[in-house]
Amino acid sequence: MALKSLLKPKCFTRKAILSSSLASSSLFSSLCKERIFSLPSESPPTAKKVPFTHSVHGITLQDPYHWMANTADPDLADYLRRENLYAEAFMADTQILQRRLFSEMTSRIPTKVSTPPEPWGPWFYYQYIPEGKEYPVLCRRLLNQKTNWLKKLTQFAKGNSGKQEEVLLDWNEIAKQYGYVHVGTCRVSPDHNFLAYTVDITGSEHFMLQIKDLRSGLMIPKLQEGVVSLAWAEEGRTLFYTQADENQRPYRVFSTKLGFSNTEEDVLVFVENDPNYCVDITSTKDGKFITVNSNSRTSSEVYIIDANNSLSGLQRIHKRIPGIQYFLEHHCGFFYILTNAPLEKKGDCLKEDYYVARCRVEDIKSANWQDIVLQSQDFSIQDMDVFSGHLVLFVNKNGVPMLCSINLPLDANHKHCLEIEKLDPWFFPLPSNSCSVSPGSNHDFMSSLYRVVLSSPLMPDLIVDYDMSKRVFSIIQQEEVEVKHDVKLKTYQPNALGIEKVSDAQNKRENFENRESKTWKDFSDSYCCERKEVISHDGIRVPLTILYSPSTFQKGRSLGVLQGYGAYGEVLDKSWCPSRLSLLDRGFVLAFADIRGGGGGDSSWHRSGSGLEKQNSIQDFIFCANFLIDNGYVHKNRLASIGYSAGGLLVGAAINMHPDLFRAAILKVPFLDICNTLLDPSLPLTILDYEEFGNPQIAMQFESILSYSPYDNISKGSCYPPMLVTASFRDARVGVWEAAKWVAKIRDTTCSRCSTSAILKTNMVGGHFGEGGLYGGCEETAYDYAFLIKVLGTSDRDSTFS
Q: Write out pLDDT tens, residues 310-368.
A: 777 898 988 888 888 999 999 999 999 999 888 764 444 434 478 999 988 988 777 67
pLDDT of residue 157: 52
Q: For the segment 468-486, what is each residue's pLDDT rounded down to a tens digit?
A: 999 999 999 999 888 776 7
User: How many degrees, rounded to 5, is the angle at CA 299 between CA 297 and CA 305?
Assistant: 110
What dihedral do alpha carbons 409, 414, 416, 422 form, nearest 10°?
-50
CA distance 700 to 57: 9
CA distance 417 to 177: 56
Q: Are 783 and 790 in contact (CB under 8 A)?
A: no
pLDDT of residue 141: 94
- Ranges of H-type helices in 641-711: 646-657, 674-678, 690-693, 699-708
Q: Under 8 Å CB-to-CB from 148, ≥6 apart: which residues? A: none
Rg (CA), the chain: 27
Which phi and psi (to 5°) does residue 755 adopt?
A: -70, -15
Q: List C-alpha distances in Å: 431 to 402, 522, 629.
A: 11, 10, 30
% of the chain with per-residue pLDDT over 90: 65
Predicted confidence (pLDDT) at residue 295 exceeds the cutoff of 90: yes
**Amino acid (one-letter) located at 212:** K
Average pLDDT over every residue of 22-46: 66
Q: Going from the N-terminus, what domains does the chain have, and what CATH number goes with each?
A: 53-107+547-792 (3.40.50.1820)
What dihedral do alpha carbons 69, 70, 72, 78 form, nearest 10°?
-60
Highest mean pLDDT of the ranges 65-79, 234-248, 310-324, 469-483: 65-79
pLDDT of residue 703: 97
Predicted confidence (pLDDT) at residue 170 exceeds the cutoff of 80: yes
Average pLDDT over every residue of 590-612: 91
Predicted confidence (pLDDT) at residue 504 exceeds the cutoff of 70: no
Stretch (H or E) spanning 763: strand 758-763
Residue 239 β-bridge partners: 232, 256
Q: Under 8 Å CB-to-CB from 675, ≥6 apart: which residues? A: 61, 696, 702, 705, 706, 709, 711, 712
Predicted confidence (pLDDT) at residue 493 exceeds the cutoff of 70: yes
CA distance 397 to 688: 30
Q: List C-alpha distances in Å: 557 to 360, 597, 666, 786, 799.
A: 63, 31, 21, 20, 20
Q: Are 714 and 673 in contact (CB under 8 A)?
A: no
Q: Which residue has the higher pLDDT, 83 or 381?
A: 83
Residue 568: left if φ>0, alpha if ψ -120 to 50, beta else—which one?
left
- Which strands form 238-244's sheet, in the order they lie side by side? 227-232, 238-244, 250-257, 267-271
pLDDT of residue 261: 58
Predicted confidence (pLDDT) at residue 176 exceeds the cutoff of 80: yes
Count CB atoms within 10 A of the CB of residue 802. 9
The per-residue DSSP string of 504-517 comes to TTS---S--B-TTP
Pairing of strands 370-374, 53-56: unpaired
Q: Are 747 and 764 in contact (CB under 8 A)?
A: no
Collapsed DSSP state (helix, strand, coil) of residue 655: helix
Q: Are 677 and 683 in contact (CB under 8 A)?
A: yes
Collapsed DSSP state (helix, strand, coil) of residue 764: coil
CA distance 266 to 673: 40
Predicted confidence (pLDDT) at residue 562 exceeds the cutoff of 70: yes
Predicted confidence (pLDDT) at residue 538 exceeds the cutoff of 80: yes
Q: How confident is the model at residue 270 (pLDDT cuts 50, 70, 90)?
A: very high
CA distance 624 to 562: 8
Exposure class string for 183-221: b at 16+ Cβ within 10 A, else e: bbbbbbbbebebbbbbbbbbbbbbbbbbbbebeeeeebe
Predicted confidence (pLDDT) at residue 770 exceeds the cutoff of 90: no
Q: Are 506 and 427 in contact (CB under 8 A)?
A: yes
Average pLDDT over every residue of 177-204: 92
**Amino acid (one-letter) located at 604:** S
CA distance 571 to 564: 10
Q: How confident is the model at residue 412 (pLDDT cuts 50, 70, 90)?
A: low
Average pLDDT over every residue of 565-579: 94
CA distance 149 to 157: 12
pLDDT of residue 160: 47
Predicted confidence (pLDDT) at residue 8 exceeds the cutoff of 60: no
Q: Are 391 and 291 in contact (CB under 8 A)?
A: no
CA distance 454 to 431: 8
Predicted confidence (pLDDT) at residue 801 exceeds the cutoff of 60: no
Pairing of strands 559-564, 639-644: parallel
Pairing of strands 436-439, 449-456: antiparallel
Predicted confidence (pLDDT) at residue 593 exceeds the cutoff of 80: yes
Exposure class string for 129-156: b at 16+ Cβ within 10 A, else e: beeebbbbbbbbbbbeeeeebeebbebb
Predicted confidence (pLDDT) at residue 547 exceeds the cutoff of 90: yes
pLDDT of residue 20: 30
Q: How confident is the model at residue 669 (pLDDT cuts 50, 70, 90)?
A: very high
pLDDT of residue 6: 44
pLDDT of residue 541: 96
Predicted confidence (pLDDT) at residue 522 exceeds the cutoff of 70: yes
Q: List C-alpha distances in Å: 44 to 81, 355, 753, 791.
A: 12, 56, 11, 17
CA distance 231 to 255: 9
pLDDT of residue 367: 66
pLDDT of residue 481: 85
pLDDT of residue 413: 64
Collapsed DSSP state (helix, strand, coil) of residue 84: helix
CA distance 110 to 112: 5
Average pLDDT over every residue of 536-546: 97
Q: For the segment 631-649, what is each residue's pLDDT rounded down to a tens digit?
A: 999 999 999 999 999 999 9
Least confident interval from 65-74, 150-159, 562-571:
150-159
Q: Are 243 and 224 in contact (CB under 8 A)?
A: yes
CA distance 789 to 104: 15
Which phi and psi (to 5°) does residue 496 adopt?
A: -75, -10
Q: Under 8 Å CB-to-CB from 188, ≥6 apart: which residues? A: 7, 120, 125, 168, 194, 195, 214
Q: Under 8 Å CB-to-CB from 403, ≥6 apart: which residues? A: 392, 393, 394, 395, 427, 428, 430, 437, 450, 452, 466
% of the chain with per-residue pLDDT over 70: 87
Q: How confident is the model at residue 383 (pLDDT cuts 50, 70, 90)?
A: very high
Average pLDDT over every residue of 74-86: 97
Predicted confidence (pLDDT) at residue 734 exceeds the cutoff of 80: yes
Q: Which residue has the higher pLDDT, 171 or 488?
A: 171
Predicted confidence (pLDDT) at residue 107 exceeds the cutoff of 50: yes
pLDDT of residue 260: 60
pLDDT of residue 636: 93
C-alpha count within 13 angstroms, C-beta hemisphere, residue 649: 25
Average pLDDT over every residue of 170-180: 92
Q: Which of 59, 192, 140 is nearest to 706 (CA)?
A: 59
Q: How confident is the model at residue 771 (pLDDT cuts 50, 70, 90)?
A: low
pLDDT of residue 399: 74
Q: How confident is the model at residue 421 (pLDDT cuts 50, 70, 90)?
A: confident
Q: Over the chain, what is the mean pLDDT?
A: 86
Q: How confident is the model at residue 13 (pLDDT cuts 50, 70, 90)?
A: very low
The DSSP 8-state label assigned to residue 225 in this structure reads B
C-alpha count within 13 angstroms, C-beta hemisphere, residue 98: 15
Q: Which residue has the higher pLDDT, 503 or 567?
A: 567
**Amino acid (one-letter) located at 632:** G
pLDDT of residue 572: 92
Collapsed DSSP state (helix, strand, coil) of residue 714: coil
Q: Under 8 Å CB-to-CB from 479, ≥6 apart: which residues? A: 1, 2, 460, 461, 462, 576
CA distance 179 to 177: 6
pLDDT of residue 224: 87
Highest mean pLDDT of the ranges 10-14, 364-368, 604-608: 604-608
Q: How confident is the model at residue 498 (pLDDT cuts 50, 70, 90)?
A: low
Q: Which of 619, 643, 618, 568 is nearest to 598 (CA)?
A: 568
